Amino acid sequence: MKCMIRTLALLATGAITFAQQNPSWIRPFPPHRIAGNVYYVGTEDLACFLLTTPEGHILINTGLAGSELLINASIRQLGFRPEDVKILLTMQAHFDHVAAMKEMQQVSGAKVYATEADASVLEDGGRSDPYFSRYRFAAVKVDRRLKDGDLVRLGGTQLTVILTPGHTKGSVTYSTTVVDGGQKRSMVFANMGTVVMPLVGNAKYPQIAEDFARAFERQKRLSPDIWVAAHASQYGMAEKLRAGSFVDPQGYQAAVERHAAMFRERLEKESKR
Ligand SMILES: [Zn+2]
């Protein structure tokens, strides 16, 4: 039944073809601790992160419509309550990361925080998405609009907002410090800059190339001990879980450089046309 509900929800949003092409987007995955108070509660590939605190929790990303069933089950399996989520965040306002925002908000009564540039997309359910406007989702009211350098604070946990636009106009990376096994570790939730829209002559997003270039420069300046991304495959989640450690400073720099190189290559190709 749950599967059927999920399929119907996906059909309604038009996201079914994506889910069919990417079965890992809706396949369940065991929830697990990444480090300190940061846990993985996403599907096999659509990463969702729970940051637990004594004053309630922060949830980053919510996956596709219907994913709330898996997210809530994962939160409970870890011994926490979805009702205790106080703040909902996203790394990018594409349907595959925000379509269950509304449901999660209804379960918890959490406040939705989003960057200024992505807030409008969340509030119109994807209608103003310059690329994926066919893939609609339940709109949510954004309670707080985040600017670069803003701090998101809850129960002793603090995230710094680092705007890294390009993939969407309001894509964002968050940095924090976690205490893991008595040791302080720097950690980032990095929205990796994959190019999905034209970089040259993009009337819906004229400054896209400049945004990407700046975002990569900003990400290169960070040097986290631990890093994660919006797609589990982007940070090798399953391999790291098997290896028993998410500490990977070199892997972060390499991933940013790989994405920056793909961007430069694409820009060069488009510029020659
Ligand atoms: Zn995306």
Question: With the C-alpha atoms ordered 147, 95, 78, 190, is the resulting torsion angle positive or negative?
Answer: negative
**How far does residue 95's CA lie from ligand 1's centre (Å)?**
8
Low-confidence ranges of the chain (pLDDT < 50): 1-2, 8
pLDDT at 131: 86
Question: pLDDT for 105-139, tens place per residue?
Answer: 999 999 999 999 999 999 999 999 988 878 899 99
Quote the CA–CA distance of 83 and 71 in Å, as a whole number. Answer: 12
**How far does residue 181's CA lie from ligand 1's centre (Å)?**
33
**How far does residue 185's CA lie from ligand 1's centre (Å)?**
27
Take residue 224 and report the two structure tokens written for it: 């986290």
pLDDT at 91: 98
pLDDT at 1: 47
**Overall pTM > 0.85:** yes
Domains of the chain: 29-272 (3.60.15.10)
Question: pLDDT for 229-252, tens place per residue?
Answer: 999 999 999 999 999 999 999 999
**How far does residue 196's CA lie from ligand 1's centre (Å)?**
8
**How far does residue 63's CA lie from ligand 1's centre (Å)?**
11
**How far does residue 190's CA lie from ligand 1's centre (Å)?**
12
